[in-house]
Structure 1
């Protein structure tokens, strides 16, 4: 198996980076001869790192693809639709034995972008039914694969109340106060301003990806930090599972395409730790809305949101973990043959 990606890196704390790292790590283990080529970003999983131009044109790359004589798996980091479409098309011309493209985030392709993806003959691998339906308008159904994946259920597990208390103290939080968590980018496109509506009886923690630390909305950040019950962590946290384990509720307020990957990994990780999850019906979350422990978030109405949080924190029989077990990374590796 030959894998090409610019989404592999050392600090894995963003959705697309997590998808790429977790899948490729497991594919290298299960497919003994897997060879990984990286560009732009480097990783210990890489067998060869290259300097490629925006059109992916490189004599050595073409030579390796030709020598391997096998289908290529391409995992591009999200870019503008036209840029992604051009690269998929160019890659398909080089990959005579076929090309699979993993698209963690839906490409809002129109016009020439749609045409290039259609002409590429690449097979598309997606992570939500919503994206699967969208791409059916671009390519034949036989060229789309929907895969359930997104969480390491062995790493993200629930802990005892004593351990939860210990972790809150470790991270400088009040062990007596319910903690509402959100993990993601700090910008209005993710509807982060919703956190401003959470009552002071709850402490709120926003964990921001280091990948987009320089792209934070400074005005929104200032508003958030003016509230005494809100804290922001924006440095890399190796033991990210502990952040979920010490929390009491996970809040996912994203509504707009382009601001999160199709299957929000943070929601799956929270649920794997058996946290109640308050969520919109974004992407793959539509499939969880009516399951036990998942609460539908309707808008950012202050009273409604705090009622949901109260219900979630008082849910003594929360069992969200069961719903995400089929999404364990290990379960989908057999789909990559």
Structure 2
């Protein structure tokens, strides 16, 4: 198949939607002819000329989406000679007053993750299908106690502390005050890996450091090592604007078989059942007692088993089936 991917990936990993675009391109290009375009070139002539020359069968718009995304996808479909247009919804932002415009620029299919996004798009007349994104289950693996201690020495972290990890942007909407509160536990050490790409809320950063949290704002090529040395992963985010609907960091932590404490954010409760190391909290004040429970619970974590069905290989295999189905429907419609 000739597949045109449109994303915000520009050569550097680190943020959820960029990572998703990178892995999709890597998997699809092994078996298909893939043109991967970056939105940073949207207002250049070459962006549109490349679509026209490529003559894709599938145009898959990955980031967002926003109302503007639907306009871009429709324009790409026209320049692509009527290719099938598909959109993903990792971080939807079409809740404004002009979202009714989507009714006039619907793609052939929208891939959804959360029930709420599915409901909204359905009400706008969009055809939807549930498809979570994947995680690199080869790169992110469970660690042994020996490798965990080795990595703690490498990163100069205490062998005795209970290390709580969070990976993501330092923004107010991420609700990171929870981490500062958990740091006050005598045997806890919170480690926050902040994005090296996205803007920083310096008040949040200062508050975390003052509480005793370690805040590292760097790009870690071997980010899997930070998960491997941790005892627990915490995702306290509430705002839908501050993370993809299926947080990639949560999936990476699960692939490393870490216990995960999370709000009922986005698509997480839809994709992952509670139990075996996956804990959902309904109130922010529940994080501390839930963490105490996790620290007393040993040998019952099976989060890796929960996430293995969502390896990139499995997800892209399903996506290929969706592409073929859409193309088949198109051929039938033209007969």
> Are residues 1:84 and 2:69 paired?
yes
Q: Summarize deviations over 1:98-130 as a string: whole Å, max 9, x none.
A: 211222112233443332354343422233344
1:205 corresponds to 2:191: yes
CA offsets, 1:111-157, max 9 Å, x none? 433323543434222333442233211234xx222213321111111
Moved more, 262-271 or 128-137: 128-137
Q: Is the 8 A contact 2:25 2:34 kept in 1?
A: no
1: CA distance, partners of 2:54 / 2:12: 30
Structure 1 partner of 2:331: none
Tell me which residue corresponds to 2:162. Answer: 178
Are residues 128 and 325 of structure 1, via their aligned partners in 2, closer, same or farther at CA, if it must alter by over 3 Å?
farther
SS in structure 1 at match of 2:24: helix
Q: C-alpha distance in 1, partners of 2:211/2:314?
A: 42
Of residues 272, 279, 282 in structure 2, which corresponds to 1:295? 279
Contact 2:73 2:107 (C-alpha < 8 Å) held by counterparts: no
Aligned to 1:271: 254
Corresponding residue for 2:290?
A: 308
Kindly provide the CA deviation profile for residues 226-277 of structure 1, in whole angstroms up to 9, marking residues without a partner as x: 122x101110000011111110010011112111101111111111111110
CA distance 1:173–1:75, shift in 2 (3 Å)? farther
Map of 1:187 onto structure 2: 171
1:29 aligns with 2:30: yes
* 1:158 maps to 2:142: yes
Could you say which residue in structure 2 is the equivalent of 1:44?
Answer: none
Gaps of 5+ in 2: 324-335
- Identify the range of structure 1 (171-180 vs 309-318) with the bigger mean alpha-carbon deviation: 309-318
Corresponding pairs, count: 314
Unaligned runs of at least 5 residues, structure 1: 41-50
Deviation at 1:66, TM superposition (A): 3.7
The alpha carbon displacement at 1:200 in A equals 3.2
SS in 2 for 1:107: coil
User: Partners in 2 of 1:236 and 1:221 — Cα distance?
Assistant: 17
* Aligned counterpart, 1:286: 269
**Do the aligned partners of 2:63 and 2:91 also contact (CA within 8 Å) in 1?**
no
**Native 8 Å contact 1:276 1:313 kept in 2:** no
Alignment of 1:1-337 (within 5 A): 1-31=2-32, 33-40=33-40, 51-53=41-43, 58=45, 60-78=46-64, 81-95=66-80, 96-116=82-102, 118-140=104-126, 143-198=127-182, 199-212=185-198, 215-228=199-212, 230-287=213-270, 288-301=272-285, 304-316=286-298, 317-334=300-317, 335-336=319-320, 337=323
Separation in 2, partners of 1:4, 1:319: 34
Distance 1:121 1:108 in 2: 15
- Secondary structure of 1:150's counterpart equals coil
Normalised by the size of structure 1, how large is the TM-score? 0.86
Q: 1:116 and 1:131, CA in 2 relative to 1: closer, same or farther beyond 3 A?
A: closer
Matches of 2:97 and 2:210, distance apart in 1: 45
Q: Distance in 2 between matches of 1:258 and 1:122?
A: 25
**Quick one: distance in 2 between partners of 1:217 and 1:70?**
41
Q: Give the TM-score taking structure 2 as reference length.
A: 0.86
